[in-house]
Amino acid sequence: MCATCGCDSGGSTAIHHLGEHEHTHGAHSHSHSHSHDHGHSHASSKTIVDVEQDVLHQNNLLAQRNRGYFDAKNILALNLVSSPGSGKTSLLERTLKDLKGELEFAVIEGDQQTTNDADRIHATGTKVTQINTGKGCHLDSHMVLHALQGMKPKDNSVLFIENVGNLVCPAMFDLGEKERVVIISVTEGDDKPLKYPDMFHSSTLCIVNKIDLLPYVPFDMEKVKANAKKVNPALEILEVSCTSGEGLQTWYNWLKSRVAVSELI
């Protein structure tokens, strides 16, 4: 039984704090026991129960709890989402190296099977926790809550949460992040925002990666921007290459502006 949320262990989600112990943790429901002190008879007739409960209620509650934790410690938590291979881990590797000494970082890596990405982050000298979701195609707030328990990110740090590569369902699961950052690369179609509108609608920043490949692929930058703005007129869009480094400074400025803002609060 886990003390924080009352869940039972034993299931398919595995959490690895790199360089430390590991423990498996359950895919399970959170049951709330109740006492029958309201004095009634168990009638056999049919009763209508007004439920009116959001299906994502449990996830949203734990997300709020994570958010409270981040606020209390003044941690800037960012949820990074993309299709597989768009460059989430590459962007983190570059960022962690380039801003080392300027900002304090911690990383949660979500992946179905391997710890490859966490190993890449670990190599930069940053504190990292891997969540393996098994068959699960997204992170949820409960997994993040447990990852946080072991890692204890520092006050005033930036916490990157790399979600499972998937532009569909991670859109529905609030992790308690401050902002959601969606990454696409120029080797993907410029209609991505229209195909995955939920993700672009719920993100505040869109990073278009691999612009070093623009000469070789049929990718219309203006079109992707127009499509993204149709879905979410408030979306900020940055163009970068993790390989050449082009545009990364604007991303670093964005990041620092967010840290400065959260320091004021």
Partner 1 sequence: MHELSIVMSIIDIAKQQADRACATIIDEIELDIGTLSGIEMDSFEFAWKQAVRGSVLEGAVRKINTIEAKARCLDCDAVFSIHHYFDPCPVCGEHLLDILSGKELKVKSLVVS
Ligand X SMILES: Nc1nc2c(ncn2[C@@H]2O[C@H](COP(=O)(O)OP(=O)(O)O)[C@@H](O)[C@H]2O)c(=O)[nH]1
Q: Return the number of the residue (7 or 78) whose C-beta is nearest Zn ion.
A: 7
Mind giving me the DSSP string for 151-220? H-PPTT-EEEEE--S-SSGGGG---S-SEEEEEEETTS-TTHHHHSHHHHHH-SEEEEE-GGGGGGS---
Number of residues that bind Zn ion (CB under 5 A): 6
Stretch that binds partner 1, among 78-86, 155-163, 164-172, 204-212 (CB under 8 A): 164-172
Q: Which of residues 146-205 bind Zn ion (CB under 5 A)?
A: 169
Burial state string for 225-253 with b = 16 or more CB within 10 A and e = fewer than 16: bebbeebbeebebbbbbbeeeebbeebbe
138 binds Zn ion (CB under 5 A): yes
153 binds ligand X (CB under 6 A): no
125 binds ligand X (CB under 6 A): no
List 14, 213, 237, 238, residue binding ligand X (CB under 6 A): 213
7 binds Zn ion (CB under 5 A): yes
CA distance 36 to 225: 57
CA distance 188 to 92: 20
95 binds ligand X (CB under 6 A): no
Q: Which of residues 49-78 bind partner 1 (CB under 8 A)?
A: 49-59
Burial state string for 147-160 with b = 16 or more CB within 10 A and e = fewer than 16: bbbebebeeebbbb
CA distance 88 to 181: 10
Q: Check residue 123 and report its DSSP letter.
A: T
Q: What angle do CA 165, 53, 72 make, to 5 degrees?
A: 60
89 binds ligand X (CB under 6 A): yes
List 87, 110, 176, 247, residue binding ligand X (CB under 6 A): 87
Stretch that binds ligand X, among 50-58, 85-93, 122-130, 214-222 (CB under 6 A): 85-93
Least separation in angstroms between CB 242 and Zn ion: 25
Q: Return the number of the residue (69 or 254) whose C-beta is nearest ligand X.
A: 254
56 binds Zn ion (CB under 5 A): no
List 11, 85, 125, 134, residue binding ligand X (CB under 6 A): 85
The residues of the shown chain that bind partner 1, judged by CB under 8 A, are 29, 31-32, 34, 36, 40, 42, 44-59, 136-138, 140, 168-169, 171-173, 193-194, 197-198, 200-201, 227, 229-233
